[in-house]
Structure 1
Amino acid sequence: MDEQKSNCEENDSEPTENTRACVLCNCVDRSLHGQRELRHFGSSMERATLKPSASPLPQPGNDDLSSIGFSKSPCLATLFDDSGCWVHHWCAVWSEGVKKLDNEELENVDKAVISGTQQPCEYCRRLGATIQCHAEGCLRFYHFPCSAASGSFQSMKQLVLLCPEHIDKAEELGEDAWCGVCDSVGELTDLLFCTSCGQHYHAACLEIGATPIQRAGWQCPECKVCQTCRQPGEDSKMLVCDACDKGYHTFCLQPAMDSLPTDPWKCRRCRVCAECGAPGLLLPGSVQWFDNYTVCEGCQRRRSCVCGVCGKTASPSVDLHCCSMCH
């Protein structure tokens, strides 16, 4: 396929100035990293006791792993509103010191937020990390998206995280570490964690990769939903990104697609032009992509009028021969 025309919005708009974000991972409500919904948690502190700050809370990241958390410690007054703070469900549940009460409510989320302002993540090195490795004496902390991206082991049943350094201890958790395909522990570093059901799968058993972007927010085949409408769908209508393994309905794309493409497909978040380096998210959704989504429309247009040998633009009277492979 010389030209891919599945130019879709995929709900990938940049955060606006007033977009609400999690005060731990700094991602918005409909994040692709599996943190679930944003929840409001009360605070035991009086807002009046928080020192006001002239500096606003940093704008939410664009859901890229490089923008998780905070580059510098945010002022507490910017993290809390008049009655509490906003935190993703899983970011809160997994945080060190947070307790689940009998009524399913969570306690001490505000304290976890405060501690996170000074705690860097072992994976991304940015602040806001509150999930500690369960191994005795280990002081590694992670953001929820970074937990999976780093290759750490996560047990949803026991809310236990084991960093890559101590991942061998996962075997002690029994069935929690079994692959849903081969029913064995196998290679622990190859296990993918479904952020929806908590089941683990070996990447090799599913014949997919295990890159950080695939691990973060990964959903197993049984749980995979469209990242635009958040609903499941028939396999014949679910388009899966070749790079991040996230799913999108063909009819949720803008413009919609009639059928699944035969060639590998990449969502806008995973498209990066190999020539100019422009990421798909920063280009209009109407931009067309070429060579399996590795060359943007602008660079493709320049290719067609510039000689690949001398680098000069061809005059109207000179015809350039087009390569049948890279065009």
Structure 2
Amino acid sequence: MMPSMFQGNEEEAPNSGEPECVLCRRARVNPDTCGQMVATGGLCAHQFCLFFADGLLEWRTPLGELFGFSLHAVQHAVQLADQKHCFVCGERGATISCAQTGCERSFHLPCAEDGECVTQYFGQHRSFCWEHRPRQAAEAAPSQNTSCVICLEPVGDSTSYHTMMCPVCKQAWFHRGCIRKHALHAATMRFFCPVCGGRTQFRSQMTTLGIQIPVRRPSWWDDEDYQPLRERHRRCDAKMCIYLGGRERAQEAG
């Protein structure tokens, strides 16, 4: 069933006086979805609004002023999108089109979740509308009392855009928003199924379904409060240590 149309976006702050992205035409958005804003040459744009804009990725070069995109290429993308209306909010300037051949739906990146669209943060950065988005082939719907393994809140008793399952163990269920937050913080080094620890198949399916997995260290890696948790205890604390090498070497020798 097609999501209902709505007017406006709760992330947007009309007349706020803040610079707006030339692609999504919004100043305030969810940074987890659109990425950071950069401004140069009189143009402002969000990182992923640029990456997902129709035909723009192929023009990315090391010398581009906006995350690798030239000002001319960005202006051209804006002109092309000016005649397109977002099928979610109804406003003009929808720079992203569904990748399904023959589909004419377009949308703004901040409207993607409200429209139940999928944006793939890898490779060609393809996007799909609610009708043509990739879906999980769940063997069974979650039981009535199933909870998200991350927030521990109910996930409902049916599969949906907002409810996802681990493709490896098929036991872990979670909300799309919860696994997205987990992926953004854990990044490539620590992102795996919270229940079974599945990695390769889990990551592959999550990215296909629109979950962004940053290529970097976990967000907590450089947190001062986290550093003590990474330190190994290197001294035997037994009342009587019988290791001939002494207490200080017992841990290293196992």
- Structure-1-length-normalised TM-score: 0.37
Higher relative strand content: 1
Higher relative contact order (CA 8 A, sep 6+): 1
- Structure-2-length-normalised TM-score: 0.46
